Amino acid sequence: MTVPPAPGPSSRALVPTRLGWDAAVIAVVGLTLALAWLADPPQPAGGLLLLAGIGLLVGAYLGFFRLWRPVPAARAEAGGTAGAQPEWAPRMWGFVAAAAVALTLACAASPNGAFLQALAYPVLWTLAVRVRDAVIGCVVIGLAVCVGMLISTGSLVAASASGLVSLGFAIAMGLWISRIAEYGDERAALVDELVAAQETVRALSAAQGASAERERLARDIHDTLAQTLAGLVLLSERAAAQARRGEPADAAATMDTVERTAREALAEAREIVARTAAVPADATLGQALQRLAERFRVETGLVVHIDGTEALPTLDPETQVVLLRCAQEALANVRKHAAARRARLELSSDAAQIVLTVADDGQGFDPAASRHGFGLDGMRERVALSGGTFEVVAAPGEGTRVTVRLPLRERAAEVDA
């Protein structure tokens, strides 16, 4: 049985404590003395010989097992498992030699001295570094018992039976317990690997969560601040052009719109920082969309129609955020790419879902063609994360229609009830 200098948890579980070993030594020695003197009292010379054998075995236990001084830490670290051989191999073989002599003396003095095997074999298996060494040590001790029993009984059959039966039992038990210890070490190693894997998964989950949070913030910034700032640029350019043309009243009105839009951008930035639902402080989603459409009309001069905002079901904040951001992004795309004259925003719902449609009469595009930008992909991902579907229908010269379908959440349905 391989017993390293610093056994793992499973190995420790199979090795008794020092007090346990001491109690076992006292019990075995006491039982041997009691049987020897009560069942078949030896002659004075035999009694001294038995005491000498017991004393030698106890001394081997103390010297090679109980009180052995460990090697310095630096030497143990340098040697590792292989470095344990110079320390543990001499301990085992020294104990085997002393135990063989002790059992020979004890068994020669009295057949009851064979009970000392109950101490010799467990100590041997505990000290052994390799299974092969333990088996060889058991054979040496078994032969010593046979020799001692042959001297005390004069019967080769009795001596062989006593020594060989105990030897076979000791080897079988040692191999079985050794396998249990190895299995425990394997389980401990698997547990360590599992803990390491869990730490890796935890780290990967944290990294994935951080990445998802960055993507969410990127979408929020793109759908709110970026679009608002783009509108501010257009309004500022218009105000500058009006001022150059000598239209102070129109320029002042445009600058009022710039101020109002900038304040909204500031409010949106604060909401993003606070990680709250970035829905404007309107009573309903319909009012928020009305404000969005009005601002879009002022910034672009396009005609924007809104339908279906009067009889909407009660929506949870997340659904409102997704619908509003998709409307913002869709109208921003109309402003930047469509060259449209009109846009239409429509909301509808049934018992299972709410639908947002944003359509324009602009120049359209080919959805299958490669494109640059974050807008459509950002909307598609935002809708998918909310469990909905996103659809774009467009063709060159025929305008564009964006449709967002989101499920009505249970909480919203409960509020309606």
Residue 75 above 60 pLDDT? no
Q: Is residue 46 part of a domain?
A: yes
Question: Could you tell me if 23 and 128 lie in one domain?
Answer: yes
What are 242-274's pLDDT values in tens digits?
888 888 888 888 888 888 877 777 767 666 654
Residue 127 shares a structural domain with residue 18: yes
Tell me whether residue 212 is in a domain: no
Reported as a single tens digit per residue, the pLDDT across 317-370 is 888 888 888 888 888 888 888 888 889 999 988 888 999 999 998 888 888 776
**Domain shared by 187 and 317, yes or no:** no
Predicted confidence band of residue 40 (pLDDT cuts 50, 70, 90): low
Q: What is the extent of the structural domain holding 175? A: 9-199
The order of strands in the sheet holding 353-360 is 303-307, 342-349, 353-360, 400-407, 389-394
Assign 417 a pLDDT band (cuts: 50, 70, 90).
Answer: very low
What does residue 349 show for φ and ψ, rounded to 5 degrees?
-155, 160
What residues does 343 pair with on adjacent strands? 304, 360
Pair of tokens at residue 68: 């052995």
CA 58, CA 111: separation in Å to the nearest integer?
A: 18
Same domain, 171 and 289: no
Q: Which of 63-72, 88-97, 160-169, 376-385 bottoms out in mean pLDDT, i.e. has the lowest?
A: 63-72
**100 and 195 in a common domain:** yes
pLDDT at 50 over 80: yes
pLDDT at 194 over 60: yes
The sign of the torsion formed by the CA atoms of 195, 197, 202, 206 equals positive
- AA identity, residue 281: A
| Tokens 């063709």 found at | 395
Last residue of a domain, one of 167, 199, 231: 199
Identify whether residues 191 and 291 lie together within a single domain: no
Return d(Cα 181, Cα 191) in angstroms, integer: 15
Name the region of 308 (left: φ>0; alpha: ψ -120 to 50; beta: rest): left
Question: Is the CA virtual torsion 48, 52, 54, 59 positive or negative?
Answer: positive
Kindly report the number of other CB atoms within 10 A of residue 20's CB atom: 10
Residue 118 lies in a domain: yes
Mean pLDDT of 208-230: 69
CA neighbours within 13 Å on the CB side: how many for 330? 32
Is residue 271 domain-resident?
A: no
Domain final residue, candidates 199, 226, 257: 199
Average pLDDT, the chain: 76
Contact 294, 306 (CB under 8 A): no
In the block, residue with structure tokens 């020669």: 108
Q: For residue 61, what pLDDT band results from cuts at 50, 70 and 90?
A: confident
Q: What is the pLDDT of residues 281-295, one digit of tens each?
A: 444 678 888 888 888
Work out the average pLDDT over 200-221.
Answer: 70
Domain count, the chain: 2
Residue where a domain stops, chosen among 164, 199, 234: 199
Please state the pTM of the whole predicted model.
Answer: 0.39
Residue 149 lies in a domain: yes
Identify the pLDDT of residue 77.
Answer: 40
- Token digits for 202? 């935890």
The per-residue pLDDT for range 76-129, each reduced to its tens digit, is: 344 444 444 445 677 888 888 888 898 888 888 888 888 888 888 888 888 887
Look at residue 73 in the predicted model and tell me its pLDDT.
39
What confidence category does residue 402 fall into, taking pLDDT thresholds of 50, 70 and 90? very high
Number of CB atoms found within 10 A of residue 252's CB: 12
Residue 292 belongs to domain with CATH number: 3.30.565.10
Q: Is residue 258 part of a domain?
A: no
Structural domain includes residue 270: no
SS (H, E, C) the chain: CCCCCCCCHHHHHHCCCHHHHHHHHHHHHHHHHHHHHHHCCCCHHHHHHHHHHHHHHHHHHHHHHHCCCCCCHHHHHHHHHHHCHHHHHHHHHHHHHHHHHHHHHHHHHCHHHHHHHHHHHHHHHHHCCCHHHHHHHHHHHHHHHHHHHHHHHCCHHHHHHHHHHHHHHHHHHHHHHHHHHHHHHHHHHHHHHHHHHHHHHHHHHHHHHHHHHHHHHHHHHHHHHHHHHHHHHHHHHHHHHHHHCCCHHHHHHHHHHHHHHHHHHHHHHHHHHCCCCCCCCCCCHHHHHHHHHHHHHHHHCCEEEEECCCCCCCCCHHHHHHHHHHHHHHHHHHHHHHCCCEEEEEEEECCCEEEEEEEECCCCCCCCCCCCCCHHHHHHHHHHHCCCEEEEEECCCCCEEEEEEEECCHHHHHHHC
**For residues 92 and 124, is the Cβ–Cβ distance under 8 A?**
yes
Return the residue matching tokens 């449209």.
340
What pLDDT is recorded for position 164?
77
Note the pLDDT of residue 224.
65
Mean pLDDT for 39-52 is 76
**How crowded is residue 15: how many other Cβ atoms within 10 Å of its Cβ?**
14
Whether 13 has a pLDDT exceeding 70, the answer reads no
Arithmetic mean of pLDDT, 286-306: 83
Domain assignment present for 240: no
Query: Angle at Cα 271 formed by Cα 265 and Cα 276, nearest 5°?
Result: 150
